[in-house]
């Protein structure tokens, strides 16, 4: 038996603050469901997009949010074999091995509150077995939460897609949590140049600390001009900003490839040079970096253990769950230099 009522942050209407309410869940877990008591959750740009309605009309309102977190298993449903009670786990949005369960049923004053296979802006979560991965013994829950999206998505792009070589010049556009992890990982390939680009001087200062060879403020044309003599053959855009995507493609050489990790507004359009495309310039979407959570998460956690990457360095602030709206504002602030974590 598990706790029936618990606090959750609910999106009831786009472009409004999340509402903190006690919601009710069913007493019995169905096939493939796992009950997790949340300990930490990250705030991701995707949640900001959902709050703002960037993806178009939200037909699921009111609903829960959050897709990266860590916690402790409190109960398991029928047929669950990956985890057991009291296991420490990572909650992630990318499908992994295990059963894909039905989505959970929550209510608030007898009104349905919708939720997907994983949510993390709530004290407890009913999660599908294929959206959890067991945390290696001894690894902290706080750092582990970031492997639900930010760390795994970024490192999967570097290790599964980019295929960096020493002759490469890599441009990273957007030096938030994703960009900082990509930069750290790329440093270990001893490539020719890592160029960090952003519109925030705070972010660019952070990029220098992580070892970027060149930093460029995209609002300063003279700085962009400095890149004219550098053949950028690989680039990554961690934001869905249209201008950032277009600038990255203009700076890319041909042949060259640009990976788009950020989510642009639905139905948005970009302008790119057709001549460059014809001469082997490529723009490719990277949804989760082709991650395989059951394989990649333990491997990537080991990178942090070996100090090849330093996950702690990207955590800007840790806040109490009851202050989640303050955390969301903080995430969007120009002073933010990384990931905001929620502590339960």
Dihedral, 131, 135, 140, 141 alpha carbons, nearest 10: 30
Residue pLDDT tens, the chain, 344 long: 455 799 999 999 999 999 999 999 876 899 999 999 999 999 999 999 999 998 888 999 999 999 999 999 999 999 999 999 999 999 999 999 999 999 999 999 989 999 999 999 999 999 999 999 999 999 999 999 999 999 999 999 999 999 999 999 999 999 999 999 999 999 999 999 999 999 999 999 999 999 999 999 999 988 888 888 899 999 999 999 999 999 999 999 989 999 999 988 888 999 988 888 889 999 999 989 999 999 999 999 999 999 999 999 999 999 999 999 999 999 998 788 899 999 99
Closest CA to 246 of 202, 180, 197: 197
pTM of the full structure: 0.94
Give residue 3's pLDDT: 52
Looking at the DSSP bridge assignments, the partners of residue 167 are none
Tokens of 261: 């990790």
Sequence-ordered list of residues with C-beta below 8 angstroms from that of 309, at least 6 positions apart, any chain:
151, 155, 181, 184, 185, 300, 303
Tokens of 252: 């890319």
* Domains along the sequence of the chain with CATH: 5-148+310-343 (3.90.180.10), 154-290 (3.40.50.720)
Sequence-ordered list of residues with C-beta below 8 angstroms from that of 253, at least 6 positions apart, any chain:
231, 232, 233, 281
């Amino acid at each position: 038996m598990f706790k029936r009522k618990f606090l959750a942050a609910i999106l009831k209407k786009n472009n409004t603050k999340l509402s903190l309410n006690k919601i009710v869940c069913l007493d019995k877990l169905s096939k493939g469901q796992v009950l997790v008591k949340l300990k930490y959750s990250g705030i991701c740009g995707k949640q900001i997009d959902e709050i703002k309605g960037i993806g178009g009309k939200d037909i699921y309102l009111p609903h829960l949010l959050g897709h990266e977190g860590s916690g402790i298993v409190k109960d398991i449903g029928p047929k669950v074999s990956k985890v057991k009670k009291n296991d420490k786990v990572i909650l992630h949005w990318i499908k992994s091995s295990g059963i894909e369960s039905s989505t959970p049923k929550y209510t608030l004053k007898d009104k349905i509150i919708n939720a997907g296979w994983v949510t993390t802006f709530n004290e407890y979560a009913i999660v599908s077995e294929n959206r959890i991965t067991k945390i290696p013994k001894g690894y902290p829950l706080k750092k582990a939460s970031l492997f639900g999206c930010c760390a795994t998505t970024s490192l999967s792009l570097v290790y599964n897609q980019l295929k960096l070589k020493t002759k490469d010049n890599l441009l990273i556009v957007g030096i938030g949590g994703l960009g900082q992890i990509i930069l750290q990982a790329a440093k270990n390939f001893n490539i020719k140049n890592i160029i960090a680009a952003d519109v925030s001087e705070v972010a660019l200062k952070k990029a220098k600390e992580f070892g970027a060879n060149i930093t460029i403020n995209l609002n300063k044309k003279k700085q962009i001009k400095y890149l004219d003599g550098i053949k950028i053959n690989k680039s990554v855009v961690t934001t869905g900003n249209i201008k950032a995507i277009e600038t990255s493609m203009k700076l890319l050489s041909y042949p060259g490839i640009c990976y788009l990790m950020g989510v642009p507004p639905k139905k948005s359009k970009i302008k790119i040079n057709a001549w460059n495309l014809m001469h082997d310039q490529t723009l490719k979407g990277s949804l989760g970096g082709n991650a395989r959570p059951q394989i990649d998460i333990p491997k990537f956690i080991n990178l942090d253990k070996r100090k090849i990457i330093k996950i702690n360095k990207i955590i800007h602030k840790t806040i109490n769950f009851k202050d989640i709206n303050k955390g969301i504002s903080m995430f969007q602030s120009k002073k933010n230099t990384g990931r905001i974590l929620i502590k339960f």
